[in-house]
Amino acid sequence: MKGNPMSRRRILRTTAPLLAVALLAACGGTTQGDQDDGGGPGGTDATADPNAEYRTGLSVAMLPKSVNNPYFEASSSGAESVVNELEGAYEYTGPSDASASSQVSYIDTLSQQATDVVLLSANDPNALCSSLEQARGGGTVVVTFDSDVDPGCRDLFVSQVDSDEVGLTLLEMTAEQIGGEGEVAVLSATANATNQNAWIDAIGAELESNADYAGIELVDVVYGDDEDEKSFSETQGLMQAHPDLKAIISPTTVGIAAAARYLSGSQYQGEVALTGLGTPNQMREFVEDGTVAEFALWDPTALGELAAYTGAAAASGIITGAEGEVFTAGDLGEYTVGADGVVTLGPPTRFNADNIDEFDF
Amino acid sequence: MSTLVKSTANVPAAKTGSTALDLVLRFRALGLVIALAALIAATTAVNPRFLSAQSLRDLLFAAAITVLLACGMTVVVLTRGIDLSVGSVLGLSAYVTASALSESGAATPVAMLIGLAVGAACGALNGAVIHFGRVPPLVATLGTLYVFRGTVYFLAGGSRINASDLPRGFLDFGNGTVLGVPYLFCVALVVLAAVGVFLGRYRAGRDLYALGSNPEAARLAGIRAGRRLMTAYIVSGALAGLGGVLYAARFGTVDASAGYGLELNIVAAVVVGGVAIFGGSGTVLGAALGALLLAVINNALPVLRIDQFWQQAIVGALILAAIALDRLVSLRASRALRTKGSHVD
Amino acid sequence: MSTKLRDTAAVRLLTTWDAAIIAATVVFLAAAAQTVEHFGTARNAGFIVLDLAPILILALAMTLVVTTGEIDLSVASTVGLTSAAMGVMWNAGIPLETIIPAAIGIGACLGAVNGLFITGFGLPSLAVTIGTLALYRGLAYVLLGDTAVADWPRAFTGWTLGTVGETAIPNVLIPMAALVAVFGIVLHATAIGRSIYASGANPVAAAYAGIAVGRLKFWLYVTSGAMAGLVGVLWTLRYSSARADNAYGLELTVVAVVLLGGVSIFGGRGALPGVLAAVVLLTALQNALRLAHVSTEALTVVTGSLLIAAVLAPNTANAIRGALRARRSRTA
C-alpha cells in the first residue's frame, strides 16, 4: 500500500465514478426520442366562480428577469398599486443578473414563504419548471408576464400583445418608413428569448405571404443580448455588413435605444430607418433629432396591473386558467382567458413626434 | 527552429544585455502591429467598408476605453499585482458621474474630475488593503470587485440614467471627433503618453519595474514599496474612474451593470500586449496595442460574418498564445544572456 | 497570568481561521433558525443543499489546487462547456447514460489542458486559467450558441431534485457526502495529501524530498476539470437546461469560499472542514437574506467583504500576536 505509486491511486479515484456510471449505462439507454410521461400538473380540477369577489390580504410577489431594469420597475409600480387596492402584501424581488439559475433560488424562497401569487417574467422557458411545480404544489398561483415559461408549469400567462400583432405592427411601421421596398435587418435580444423569436417568426411569415411586402427582404438577424454595449456594436456591424440596408427593426427596448444612439451619431442618421419596441422616455431624444420616426410599445405599467389582477383573480377562484373564462381587471376593463391560459393586454401603442410627449415611462 | 534560436542569440552577443531585452520587447510591439495590419488587410479585402472613415471612427470609439483601462492595469501588473476590480470601478464612476450631471448639470471637466476622484478613492482602498493588510492583490481586488459592484447596485437600484437626462455638451464630448478622431480616443492617447513617460522616465515609474522584477532586492535598494504600490493602485483606479466618465459620455445610458465583466478583457489586452503577468516587464504601448487588437477583432468578426460566438473563444486562445510566446521569448533571452555571460568569463 | 492566558487563547481561536469560520457558521445557522421565518425547516435545508451542491463540489478540487499554491479560474467555464457539450450530444441522439460519463471525461480533458500549460510549459496558473476561462466559455457558445437544450428525461431531472425515499434528505447529498469523504481522506490522511501541502509550502524542498510536484499538479487540474464536468451534469439536469452560459461567474464564488474557508492563497495551508463551513455559511446567508427580504445588493457587498476579511483577519491577528509576544518578552 505504502509503496504504490500515487498516480495509480489517483487515476483510480478519478475513474471510479466514471466506471460506476458506465455500469449504469449497461442497463439500457435513454435518448432524446424516448417518451416522457410526467407531463406536470395540467389544468386544475377546481371550477371557476365568475361571480366571486377578489380576495383581500393576498401576498403577491413580482419576480422580474432582473431587478435593475426600468421596464420592470414600471410593471412593478402597476402591480403594486393593484395589490394595495386589494389590501394585499406586495413584494418586488429578484436577482441582479438575468439568469435562470438565480431565478430558481428566488422561486424556491417564495414557495418556502408560501406566497399566494407569483408574477414572473422568466429568463428561460424550461429551467424554472421544476421549481414552479413545487411552488404550485404548495398552493402558489404562478402567473407569468412579459416572457412565458412552458404552459405546463404556470397557471396563466399575461401577454403584452398578441405575437402576430406585434410582428405585423413592426412590419407595417417599417414598410411605411422605407416606402415598402429594400433590405431590412432585425436587432433582437438573446437568441432564445421566447417572445422576440415569436415576433421575428411572425415578421418572416408575413413577408413571405403578403404581396404588399414583396419588395422587402429580411437579410439578417443579430443578437445584442439586451446589453447596451453589445447591441450598439451589433448595429455597427450590421451597417458594415449590409451597405444597402434600409431599415433596422429592434423588438427590444435595450436594442432600439442602443441602435438609435449609434445611428444618431453616424452618417446613417435619417438614411437608415429604425423602428421597434422602445420606451418613450428612452426614445424621446431620437424622435426629436429625426433618427427615429415611429416606434411602438405596450404600457408596462398596465401590463403589471393586469398581471396582478390576473394573479389575484386566479387566487380568488374567479378564474382557473381555462379558455373562455372572463374577469374584470379594475379600470382596465374586462378580459377573457384565451387558449393555453393566455390573457392578452391589447394592441401595442405607436409613438411618434405627435404623441410622444403625452407619455412618461 | 534552431536557426531562429541561433540568430536571436547572436544579435545580443554583439551588443549589450539591455538592448537584447529591448529588441525582444520591440519585437513584441512590432509583432502586434503586424498582426493588426494583417487582420485589417484581410477584413478589408472581404469588405472594403471596414476601412471607411465611419468604420475607423467606430473602431477608435470602441478601443478608447479599453486602451485607457489597459494603461492603468499595466502599471499594476508591472508590480506583480492585478486589479480585477476595474470593471466595477468603471461602473461605479459612470453611475456617480452620470447622476451628478443629471442632477446638477455640471460641466464636462467637472464630471471628469468627479470620475477620477471616485476611481482614485476605490484604487486607494485597493492599495491600502493590499499594502497595509498584506492581502494578495488577486484576493483583495476580487473582493472589491463584489463590494464596488454591490455599491453601484445599491446606489442605482433599478433606475437607469438616460441620454436625455445628461447635458448636451457632455454627450457631444462623448460622440464628437476632432479631425475624425473621437475626443475619447484623444483622451486615451494623452493618458497613454503620460503613463508611458511616467513609467519610462521617472524614478517612481522605474521603481515599479524594480518592485515587480524582484521585490526583495527593490526593498533592499531602498525603494519605498508601500508608497509605490499605493501609487500603482490609485493610478489604475483613477483611470478606471475616468473610463467610467467616458463610458457615460459615449453611451449616454448608464445603469448598475455598466462595465460588468470588463476586467477580463482588460487583463487579456495587457497580457496579449506583452506585459508579463508576474511583473517587471512590459510597456504601456504594448498593452495599448493589445487593447487595439482586441477591439479590431471585435469589430472585424461581424464584418467577416464570423459567428459572434467565436469572439470570446478567440480572446481566450490569444491569451494562451501570448503567455506561451512570452515564456518562449524569456527562455531564449535567458539562454542568450547565459551565452554572453560565458563569453565575458 | 490568567488574563495573559485568556488573551492568547482568544487570539489563537482567531488565528485558527477554520475554527472561527466553523463557529461562525454554527452560530449563524442557530440564530437564523430562531429569527428568520421559514428558515429552519427541512424543506428550506433541502433548497440550501441544492444551491450549494455545485459550489461545494468545485470547491473540493479547488481546495487541493490552491493548497499547492496554484489556482483554477476556469472551473465555471468548464461547467458551461460541459453543459453545452451535453446538449449537443443529446441532440445527436446519444443516450444519457453515455453522455454523463462522457461529460465528466470532457471536463477531465479540459482540466488536463490547463495542467499541460501550467506544469508542462511552466506558465503561471493565474494567466493560463484566465485564458481558458475565456476560451472554454467561448467554445461553449460556439457549440450551442444562445440556444438551450431542454428536453431532458424526467427520470433524471427529477432525481437531482428528489429526496431519498420518504426522508427529507436530498438525493444529491449522497454523492456530495461521498466526494467530501474521498477528498477529506486524500488531503488529510494520505501521502498524496502530505505531498500537496509540501508542494504548496515549499515546491523546491518538496521536489528534493522526491515529490513529483509537476505530475501531482497536473493530476489535480485533471481532477478539478472532472469535478467541473460532474457539476456540468448536475447543473444541466437540475435546471433541465443545457446552455452555454450555465454557471457563468461561479468561479469567483468558488474561489471566495475556498479562501473564506482558511486556505492560504500562497499554498501550503488550509483544511477541508473550514471550506465546508464557508460553503454552508455563504449559501445559508444568501438564503436567509432572501427570506428576510433583504436586497441582493447587500449580498454582493457581504460576499466581497467576507472574502477580504478572510485574509485580512488572520494577518491582523498575527500582527497582534506578534505585538503581544514582543511586549511579553520585554516584560519578562
B315 interfaces chain C, CB cutoff of 8 Å: yes
Range of the domain at B213: 52-310
> CA neighbours within 13 Å on the CB side: how many for A24?
15
What pLDDT is recorded for position C80?
A: 96
Residue B326 in domain: no
Q: Same fold for the domain at A59-160+300-347 and the one at A163-297?
A: yes
- pLDDT score of A100 more than 70: yes
- pLDDT score of A40 more than 60: no
What pLDDT is recorded for position B59?
A: 85
Cβ-Cβ contacts under 8 Å between A and B: the total is 82
Q: What sign has the CA pseudo-torsion A213, A216, A217, A221? A: negative
Of B55, B158, B298, the CB nearest to A72: B158
CA C262-C263-C266 angle, 5° bins: 130
- pLDDT score of B9 more than 50: no
What pLDDT is recorded for position C332?
A: 58
Residues 29-58 of C with CB under 8 A from A: 37-38, 41, 43-44, 47, 50-51
- pLDDT score of B12 more than 60: no
Q: Which residues of B touch A267 (CB under 8 A)?
A: 54
Cell of residue C288, nine digits: 436567509
**Yes or no, beta carbons of C186 and A192 under 8 Å apart:** no
Structurally, chain B folds into a number of domains equal to 1
Gap between the Cα atoms of C275 and C253, Å rounded: 12
Q: Which residues of B touch A243 (CB under 8 A)?
A: 49
Residue bearing the bigger pLDDT, C175 or C315? C175
Residue B244 in domain: yes
What pLDDT is recorded for position C284?
A: 92
Chain B nearest-CA residue for A237: B302
How does pLDDT run across A109-152, given as a tens digit for each residue?
999 889 999 999 998 888 888 889 889 998 999 999 988 888 88
**Yes or no, beta carbons of B136 and C316 under 8 Å apart:** no
What whole-number percentage of chain A has pLDDT above 90?
33
Average pLDDT over residues C222-227: 97
What pLDDT is recorded for position A17?
A: 53
pLDDT band of residue B345 (cuts 50, 70, 90) is very low
**Yes or no, beta carbons of A36 and C151 under 8 Å apart:** yes
**Yes or no, beta carbons of A282 and B162 under 8 Å apart:** yes
B261 interfaces chain A, CB cutoff of 8 Å: no
Gap between the Cα atoms of B136 and C311, Å rounded: 8
Average pLDDT over residues B284-310: 84
Return the residue in C37, C97, C142 with the most chain A beta carbons within 10 A, the one to mutate for interface testing: C97
Of C91, C146, C291, the CB nearest to A32: C91
Contacts of C147 (CB under 8 A, 6+ apart): A191, A192, C243
pLDDT band of residue A288 (cuts 50, 70, 90) is confident
What superfamily does domain A59-160+300-347 belong to in CATH?
Answer: Response regulator (3.40.50.2300)
HEC states along chain B? Answer: CHHHHHHHHHHHHHCCHHHHHHHHHHHHHHHHHHHHHHHHHHHHHHCHHHHCHHHHHHHHHHHHHHHHHHHHHHHHHHCCCCCCCHHHHHHHHHHHHHHHHHHHCCCHHHHHHHHHHHHHHHHHHHHHHHHCCCCCHHHHHHHHHHHHHHHHHHHHCCCCECHHHCCHHHHHHHHCEECCEEHHHHHHHHHHHHHHHHHHHCHHHHHHHHHHHCHHHHHHCCCCHHHHHHHHHHHHHHHHHHHHHHHHHHHCCECCCCCCCHHHHHHHHHHHCCCCCCCCCCCHHHHHHHHHHHHHHHHHHHHCCCCCCHHHHHHHHHHHHHHHHHHHHHHHHHHHHHHHHHHHC
Q: Which residues of A touch B162 (CB under 8 A)?
A: 257, 281-282, 285
**DSSP reduced 3-state for C163:** strand
The end-to-end CA distance of chain C, in Å, is 12
Q: Are A241 and B47 in contact (CB under 8 A)?
A: yes
Query: How many Å lie between the alpha carbon of A188 and the closest alpha carbon of chain B?
Result: 14
Return the residue in B162, B173, B297 with the most chain A beta carbons within 10 A, the one to mutate for interface testing: B162
Q: Which residues of A touch B50 (CB under 8 A)?
A: 240
What pLDDT is recorded for position B18?
A: 54
**Yes or no, beta carbons of C248 and A99 under 8 Å apart:** yes
pLDDT band of residue B20 (cuts 50, 70, 90) is low
Q: Are strands A326-328 and A334-336 parallel, antiparallel or unpaired?
A: antiparallel
Q: Are strands A245-250 and A182-188 parallel, antiparallel or unpaired?
A: parallel
Query: How many Å lie between the alpha carbon of B88 and the closest alpha carbon of chain C?
Result: 12
What pLDDT is recorded for position B10?
A: 39
What pLDDT is recorded for position A35?
A: 55
How does pLDDT run across C74-88, given as a tens digit for each residue?
999 999 999 999 999
Query: How many Å lie between the alpha carbon of C331 and the closest alpha carbon of chain A?
Result: 50
How does pLDDT run across B66-95, given as a tens digit for each residue?
999 999 999 999 998 899 999 999 999 999
Q: Where are the alpha helices (DSSP H) in chain C?
A: 2-15, 17-35, 42-67, 75-91, 96-115, 125-144, 154-161, 173-189, 191-201, 203-208, 213-238, 250-260, 272-291, 296-331
What pLDDT is recorded for position C180?
A: 96
Average pLDDT over residues A164-193: 88
Could you tell me the residue ranges of all domains in chain C?
A: 17-323
Residue bearing the bigger pLDDT, B326 or C56? C56
What pLDDT is recorded for position A3?
A: 41
Residue B37 in domain: no
Range with top average pLDDT, B46-50, B120-124, C308-312: B120-124
What pLDDT is recorded for position B11?
A: 39
pLDDT band of residue B167 (cuts 50, 70, 90) is confident
Gap between the Cα atoms of B3 and C273, Å rounded: 55
Domain harbouring B159, CATH code:
1.10.3470
Query: How many Å lie between the alpha carbon of C269 and the closest alpha carbon of chain B?
Result: 15
Cα distances from C122 to residues A121, B330, C42, C217, C223, in angstroms, run 48, 12, 48, 11, 19
Q: Which residues of B touch C295 (CB under 8 A)?
A: 153-154
Could you tell me the residue ranges of all domains in chain A?
A: 59-160+300-347, 163-297
Q: Among A91-95, A269-273, B22-26, which stretch is predicted with the lowest mean pLDDT?
A: B22-26
Residues 81-120 of C with CB under 8 A from A: 90-91, 93-98, 100-101, 104-105, 108
pLDDT band of residue B5 (cuts 50, 70, 90) is very low
> CA neighbours within 13 Å on the CB side: how many for B34?
6
How does pLDDT run across B302-341, given as a tens digit for each residue?
777 777 778 888 888 988 888 888 787 777 777 777 776 5
Of C131, C145, C299, the CB nearest to B319: C131
Q: What are phi and psi of C46, to 5 degrees?
A: -60, -45
- pLDDT score of C188 more than 50: yes
Residue B100 in domain: yes
A54 interfaces chain B, CB cutoff of 8 Å: no
**Yes or no, beta carbons of C308 and B311 under 8 Å apart:** no
Q: Are A162 and A344 in contact (CB under 8 A)?
A: yes
Gap between the Cα atoms of C295 and C46, Å rounded: 22
Class of domain A163-297: alpha beta
Of C133, C304, C316, the CB nearest to B150: C304
What whole-number percentage of chain B has pLDDT above 70?
89
Q: What are phi and psi of A255, to 5 degrees?
A: -60, -45
Average pLDDT over residues A256-271: 88
pLDDT band of residue B19 (cuts 50, 70, 90) is low
The CATH fold assigned to C17-323 is ABC transporter involved in vitamin B12 uptake, BtuC (1.10.3470)
B55 interfaces chain A, CB cutoff of 8 Å: yes
Average pLDDT over residues B249-262: 83
Cell of residue C295, nine digits: 436586497
Of B58, B163, B257, the CB nearest to A261: B163
Residue B220 in domain: yes
